[in-house]
Chain A
Amino acid sequence: MKILSGKWSFYINGTLIALFIMLSLYLFDDTLGMSDGMLAVSEFVRDSTEAGEIKAPPTLNWQLGLLGGILIGALASAIISGSWKIQFAPKDSGGIVAGIWKPIVQGVGGGFLVMLGLQIAGDSFWGQWSAAIQLSSGAWIFIISMFIVASAASILLDRHHEKGKGGE
């Protein structure tokens, strides 16, 4: 079935995302988000590290359930569509040595900054998306500033990279 194995158009994806957000507001009276789930995992890791032993895992709440559901859904969808493959480093990581350290530095550093920014702004990424739909000015300030900075820096870095290639 092509609907399961193929990619979906942006208007289907956009509509479904909007429906998901509305459905979560109706069913949970809250936005779909994983911040509390990730916070519980973070506290579990911290407590286990401090104690030097594996402590009791966090109690299953709805946000941890959502997190687990995303893992199952993305895994199933990737297998069905044929895009599932084990990859230890992104394709643009370079050679073997760079392929080891670059994903670690990029991943930990980038992930740290993304979550730091979200924590400072006071909501998860999905929460900001949902708040933007609810016409929250704060969410729009966050999304626009994030996109302008990320896009401008990406374009400048890309041009610099292309220039470097041309000079070789």
Chain B
Amino acid sequence: MEPLALTGNLRIAIAIIAGIGLGVLLEKSDLIWRKTTLDALRLKDGRLLTTFLFSIFVGVMLFQLLLQQGLVNIQVRPAAFWPSLIGGIICGIGLIICAKVPISAIASFAAGRIHALWVIIGMILAYSAVNAVSGFLSDTLYTWSKPIPYHEQAGDYFSFENPALWLSIISLVLVLFIQFTIGRGDND
């Protein structure tokens, strides 16, 4: 068995349907609201964190199962330590300022929050800025560390040597911890 890997117009049509489903899901999960995001970062509202961790809990084990069946391929872009770390820090600073990531900015704008348009404009500007300094980044940041090798998981599905099992268990424990310690706030 192998991934379906749709092409042509069918791929576009399914992408539009998937986008509609994703838009509904983002709105229903409160991931698009500014207040939910900021409260999650202040550890005052656990909804965003529990949603993320529960998706890891389900996703990691499901991915391993589908990978073993050959239904999915590994789709991970090459990553290096310093670009990932510095990128994460810069993204984190941006997140406390605007409380949006690209996907939530689009959905938030659709939900009538016109101010999300400024976030989208900022993001579009960033593409041009990165293009302008891509040569500099290639000569500096991307030479500081080698790409992190991706280790394909092997061995038994429920083996304690399987990192996917450990990550799932840790995610579930964290979900329970957050659920019983951090409260639930209101959205915008």
With beta carbons under 8 angstroms apart, the residue of B22, B81, B83 that contacts A20 is B22
Quick one: given A72-B20, A117-B89, A151-B43, are A26 and B55 in contact (CB under 8 Å)? no
Q: A8-B29, A110-B122 are in contact. Are A83 and B187 (CB under 8 A)?
A: yes
Proximity string of chain B (118-137) to chain A, C-beta cutoff 8 Å, 1 when within and 0 when not: 11111111111110000001
CB distance from B33 to the nearest CB of A (A): 8
Question: Which residues of A, 115-153, contact B by the 8 Å Cβ criterion?
Answer: 115-127, 129-139, 141-151, 153
Which chain A residues numbered 13 to 28 have a C-beta less than 8 Å away from chain B?
Answer: 13-28
* In the complex, B91 has a CB within 8 A of chain A: yes
Cβ A111 vs Cβ B127 within 8 A: no
Tally inter-chain residue pairs, CB-CB below 8 A. 444
Residues of A within 8 A of B19 (CB): 65-73
- Whether A107 lies near B112 (C-beta < 8 A) is no
A70-B23, A81-B28 known; A75+B84 contact, CB < 8 A = no
Chain A: residues with Cβ within 8 Å of the partner, total of: 113
Whole-angstrom CA separation of A92 from B113 in the bound complex: 13
A85 CB–B CB distance under 8 Å:
yes
Which residues of chain B come closer than 8 Å to A90, judged between CB atoms?
A: 34, 113, 115, 188
| Chain A nearest Cβ from B104, distance in angstroms | 8
Residues A14 and B75 in contact in the complex (CB < 8 Å), given A63-B15, A73-B22 = no
Q: Separation in Å of the B46 CB from the closest CB of chain A?
A: 8
CB of B169 within 8 A of chain A?
Answer: no
Q: Mark B57-96, 1 if CB is under 8 A from A, else 0.
A: 1111011001000011111111111011111111111111
Number of interface residues of B (CB under 8 A): 119
Contact between B87 and A117, CB atoms less than 8 A apart? yes
CB distance from B69 to the nearest CB of A (A): 10
Per the bound structure, the CA–CA distance linking A125 and B58 in Å amounts to 19
Question: Given B35, B129, B164, which contacts A116 in the complex, CB threshold below 8 Å?
Answer: B129
Q: Which of B54, B113, B118 contacts A14 (CB 8 A)?
A: B54
Provide 27 A-B residue pairs closer than 8 Å at the C-beta atoms, listed in order of the A residue.
A13-B31, A29-B75, A42-B124, A62-B12, A66-B22, A70-B19, A73-B25, A73-B26, A73-B107, A76-B20, A77-B23, A77-B28, A84-B111, A84-B112, A86-B114, A111-B125, A112-B129, A113-B122, A116-B129, A117-B91, A117-B92, A120-B83, A121-B87, A133-B56, A142-B88, A145-B84, A148-B92
New contact pairs (8) apart from A111-B126, A146-B91, CB-CB < 8 Å: A13-B51, A25-B73, A62-B11, A87-B112, A106-B98, A107-B117, A146-B89, A154-B96
Binding site for B on A (CB under 8 A): 7-8, 10-11, 13-32, 34-35, 38-39, 41-43, 45-46, 60-63, 65-78, 81, 83-92, 103-104, 106-127, 129-139, 141-151, 153-155, 157-158
